Amino acid sequence: MAFEPPTAAPTANHSLFAADALLPDGWARNVWVQWNGAGRITHLAANSVAPVGVAVAKGPLLPGMPNLHSHAFQRAFVGLTEYRGESQDSFWSWRNLMYRFASRITPESLEAIATWLYVEMLEAGYTSVCEFHYVHHDQGGTPYADDATLSLALLRAARNAGIGITLLPVLYQTSGFGAKPPRADQARFIRSTDNMLSLLERLAPAAQAQGAVLGLAPHSLRAVPPDSLAAAVQGLTALNPQAPIHIHIAEQTQEVDDCIAWSGQRPVQWLLDHAPVDARWCLVHATHMTPDEYAAAARTGAVAGICPTTEANLGDGIFDMPLWLQHGGRWGVGSDSHACVNAAEELLMLEYSQRLSRRQRNVLASAAQAEVATAMILQAVAGGAQAAGRAIGGLAVGLQADMVVLDAHHVALRDLPAHSMLSAHVFGSHRTSAIDSLWVAGARRVSEGQHVLHGAAAQAFVAARSATIAPD
C-alpha cells in the first residue's frame, strides 16, 4: 500500500494508529484508521507515519469478532447442568433442565442477564451478536400486554452495553417432525407465522433507531412445519429481501434419524430441497452431514454457524471443517449457551477438535495464512458478518469500525512478532485476557480490559441469576 503523509488536522477522536493490524488480506504495518461520526471506516492506510495527536494502539489491531449465535438467558445457568441426572445424560436431558430455567425468566431478569452477557462478550473480543430469541411469552405462555416485551428487553440490553445486534425472533410451533403439538414447557415459545411477521414489523422502529438488524430464526425442522417455514421465509423476504435467516439444523443424530423417519431425507438434504437456502442463511450446528450435504450446503453460500464450546458441552459431535472449506464453505462462531464467553477460546476449541479427530496439527491454517489463528479470525469475521447481515466484515473502508486491540505488554505477548502475539492470545492467554481495548462502530466500549458497566452489570446479573435458579 502507498505511503500516506499525515493530513493537516487529524480527527483525534475518530482515528487510531497501530504498528500492526490484521486487514482482510493479512497483516499490515503502520496502519492509520479513520472513521466518521456514524462509525464507518472512511480511511485506512498502511505504511503510514503516526500522525501527531492520534491515539496509538497498545498492540496489534484486530477486527472485532461477530458472535453469530446466542441464547442470552442461558448464561444464567452455566455450571448448573454439569452433574449426572440420568444414567446417561444427553443433549435431550440437558434440554429438560434448560426449559426449567427458561420457564422462570422475566422481562427484568432477561434484560439484566443479557446486559451482563453482552458486557462479557465485549470484554472477550465480540463486537456484535446474533440473538436467536425464542422465549416470547409470559410464564403461563400468554403474550405480554406488549407482545414485543422480551425482544425489546434484548434490544435495550445490547444498546446499553454498546454491542451491535442482529435480533432473530424465533418461530417455534411444534415439538417434533410431523407437526407434533408443542409440549407444555414450550408454551412460552409459540407464535403463529402471521404473529411472527407482525412482531418483526412492530420491532422495526426500535431496531432501526440503534442500528440493529432484524432477521428470522425458524428454530429447527423439528419445530417448524414445512408450510410455516415457506410462509415465514416469504413474509420475511417481502419485509426485507436481505434479512438474515438462521436455523438449527442436524445438531444431534436423533434429530437426523427422526427427520429420515418423517421425510425419507436428512435435515440438511430436506432443507436444501425445500427452502431457498442462499447467502442470507446461517445453518447453526449442521454437525451431522454426509459428504454430499457438505458440498451442496457449501455451494449455497450459506454460513455454517459453529458453536465449538457449546457443541462440546452438549456432546453434539465434530463439524468437519476441512471438508467444508474444501467446498468453499463460509463459517463463523457463536457462543450459543454461553458455557464459555470468549472469542479466542471458541477458535481454540474448534482447531483442537479438528486436531483430535484427525491427529494432525494446524488444521485450519490456509494457503493464504499459514498462521492458524490469523486464518481462523479472518474467516470467522467474514462469515460472522455475513450471518449478521451487517457491514461489519473487518478493517476496511466502508465497514463499521469494530476493532480490538491486544496489549503488547501482556506477559504472554511481550516482544513477540505481531502474528505470534495473536497466536499467543488465541492459544495461550486465557487466564488473564490480553485484550486491551475494543470499539464498536468507532465508540470505545472496553478500556484496559474493562467495560464501564462491568461492576454494575455483574451485580445485577448475579441478582437476576439468583432469582432465576431459586427452587420453585
Applying the rule CB under 6 A, the residues between 88 and 107 that interact with ligand NGQ are: 95
Cβ distance to ligand NGQ smaller for residue 246 or 465: 246
Least separation in angstroms between residue 355's CB and Zn ion is 25
Cβ distance to Zn ion smaller for residue 72 or 233: 72
Phi, psi of 9 (to 5 degrees): -120, 85
Query: Judging by beta carbons within 10 Å of its beta carbon (0-12, 13-18, 19+), is residue 9 exposed, middle or buried?
Result: exposed
What nine digits make up the cell of 251? Answer: 445438531
Cβ distance to Zn ion smaller for residue 252 or 369: 252
Cβ distance to ligand NGQ smaller for residue 338 or 425: 338
Residue the block writes with cell 413474509: 235
Applying the rule CB under 6 A, the residues between 52 and 91 that interact with ligand NGQ are: 71
Put the strands of the sheet holding 245-249 in their side by side order.
245-249, 281-285, 303-306, 330-333
* DSSP-assigned letter for residue 340: -
318: helix, strand or coil: coil
Q: Which residues pair with 45 in a beta bridge?
A: 32
Residue 344 makes CB contacts below 8 A (sequence gap 6+) with 124, 125, 425, 426, 429, 430
Query: Is residue 251 involved in binding ligand NGQ (CB under 6 A)?
Result: yes
Least separation in angstroms between residue 208's CB and ligand NGQ is 27
Query: Is residue 133 involved in binding ligand NGQ (CB under 6 A)?
Result: no
Among the listed residues 336, 402, 407, 436, the single catalytic one is: 336
Cβ distance to ligand NGQ smaller for residue 335 or 379: 335
Q: What is the rounded CA–CA span in Å between residue 165 and residue 155?
A: 7
What nine digits make up the cell of 226? Answer: 414445512
133 binds, options ligand NGQ, Zn ion, none, Cβ within 5 to 8 A by partner type: none
Query: Is residue 337 involved in binding ligand NGQ (CB under 6 A)?
Result: yes
What nine digits make up the cell of 318? Answer: 465434530
> Mutual orientation of helices 193-209 and 226-239 as an angle, nearest 10°?
30
What nine digits make up the cell of 365? Answer: 491454517
Taking CB under 5 A as the binding criterion, the range among 321-329, 336-344, 389-397, 436-444 that sits at the site for Zn ion is: 336-344
Least separation in angstroms between residue 297's CB and ligand NGQ is 18
Instruction: Lay out the site mask for ligand NGQ across 16-45 (x = CB under 6 A, - = otherwise).
Output: ------------------------------
Question: What is the number of helices (H) and of strands (E) in the chain?
Answer: 14, 18
Cβ distance to ligand NGQ smaller for residue 48 or 70: 70
Report which residue's Cβ sits closest to ligand NGQ: 71
Q: Is 71 a catalytic residue?
A: no
Tell me the DSSP string of 405-421: EE-TTSTTTTTS-HHHH
Least separation in angstroms between residue 447's CB and ligand NGQ is 33
251 binds, options ligand NGQ, Zn ion, none, Cβ within 5 to 8 A by partner type: ligand NGQ
Work out the number of other CB atoms within 10 angstroms of the CB of residue 197. 21
Applying the rule CB under 6 A, the residues between 381 and 420 that interact with ligand NGQ are: none
Looking at this protein, which amino acid is placed at residue 165? I
Task: Determine which residue in the list 151, 310, 369, 437 makes contact with ligand NGQ, applying CB under 6 A.
Answer: 310
Query: Is residue 336 involved in binding ligand NGQ (CB under 6 A)?
Result: yes
Q: Is 285 a catalytic residue?
A: yes
Phi, psi of 28 (to 5 degrees): -130, 155
Instruction: Lay out the site mask for ligand NGQ across 200-239 (x = CB under 6 A, - = otherwise).
Output: --------------------x-------------------
Least separation in angstroms between residue 449's CB and ligand NGQ is 29
Least separation in angstroms between residue 69's CB and Zn ion is 6
Torsion, Cα 220 222 224 226, to 10 degrees, reads: 110
Among the listed residues 14, 248, 285, 338, the single catalytic one is: 285
Is residue 281 a contact partner of residue 299, using CB atoms and an 8 Å limit? no
Query: Is residue 123 involved in binding ligand NGQ (CB under 6 A)?
Result: no
Looking at this protein, which amino acid is placed at residue 171? L
Residue the block writes with cell 488444521: 363
* Catalytic residue IDs: 285, 336
Where along the sequence are the contacts to ligand NGQ (CB under 6 A)?
Answer: 71, 95, 220, 248, 251, 310, 314, 336-337
Residues found near Zn ion in the complex (CB under 5 A): 336
